[in-house]
Amino acid sequence: MIYSLIFVAIGLLALGLLFALRRGGTLYRTPGNPAQHLQSVDICAFRNLIDPAEEDFLRSRLPAPEFRNIQRERLRATAEYILCTAQNAAILLRMGEATRRSSDAATAEAAEKLVDQAVRLRLSAFQALLRLELRILFPGWRPASLRVVEGYEQVTRQVLRLGLQSQPREVSAAS
């Protein structure tokens, strides 16, 4: 019975993530410069939230009920960061798609890499969100590490190589 509930919950979460992915794909089709819709991501704070050593430290210092409450809040904050990176990746994907039509071969190749990295980042972000939701339901479970930060940093470096963003700190607080 419990396995059936788990599979139903996973299915509903996957359906919700697919809806979010679809919605994110049409979210930034507004006229003007899409770069102005990029949200700042504090990479240091993001890394702190997903650091297993930080979690172990809190677990050792706090009473169990207080730790669980704080850990759920940390997981929710992590989910906010991941959603932000996924939205930024959608914007950068559009920017890369527009730039890869460039007549300059090097620019077109760099834009192609940006598109590839942005797609990978969005996929890993949604996988990470699924793991986080399961972790909120089952606080003792520790999934594999989240690779969203590394993917976001790769995308940020590619944006800077292309020169698509005049103010890189808007893309990432720790570029």
Residue 131 lies in a domain: yes
pLDDT above 70 for 18:
no
Instruction: Answer whether residue 13 is part of any domain.
Output: no
Residue 45 lies in a domain: yes
> What sign has the CA pseudo-torsion 164, 165, 168, 169?
negative
pLDDT averaged over the chain?
78
* Local structure of 22: helix, strand or coil: helix
List pLDDT tens digits, range 70-81: 988 998 899 999
Mean pLDDT to the nearest integer, 16-30:
54
Q: Which domain holds residue 104?
A: 39-170
Is residue 25, in this structure, part of any structural domain at all? no
Q: Which residues contact 85 (CB under 8 A, 6 or more apart)?
A: 41, 121, 125, 148, 151, 152
Is 58 in contact with 71 (CB distance < 8 Å)?
Answer: yes
Residue 63 pLDDT greater than 90, yes or no: yes
Residue 106 pLDDT greater than 80, yes or no = yes
155 belongs to a structural domain: yes
CA 93 – CA 10 distance, rounded (Å): 28
Whether 87 is in a domain gets the answer yes
Please give the full DSSP string across 75-89, using - where no structure is assigned.
HHHHHHHHHHHHHHH
- Overall average pLDDT of the 43-66 stretch: 91
- The count of domains in the chain is 1
For residue 131, what are its two tokens?
Answer: 């793991």
3-state class (DSSP) for residue 147: coil
What does the pLDDT read at residue 140? 67
Higher pLDDT, 6 or 77: 77
What are the angstrom distances between the C-alpha of 69 and each of 62, 66, 139?
A: 10, 5, 10
**What average pLDDT does the segment 89-109 reach?**
85
Q: Is residue 72 part of a domain?
A: yes
Asked whether residue 70 is domain-assigned, the answer is: yes
Q: Is the pLDDT of residue 171 over 70?
A: no
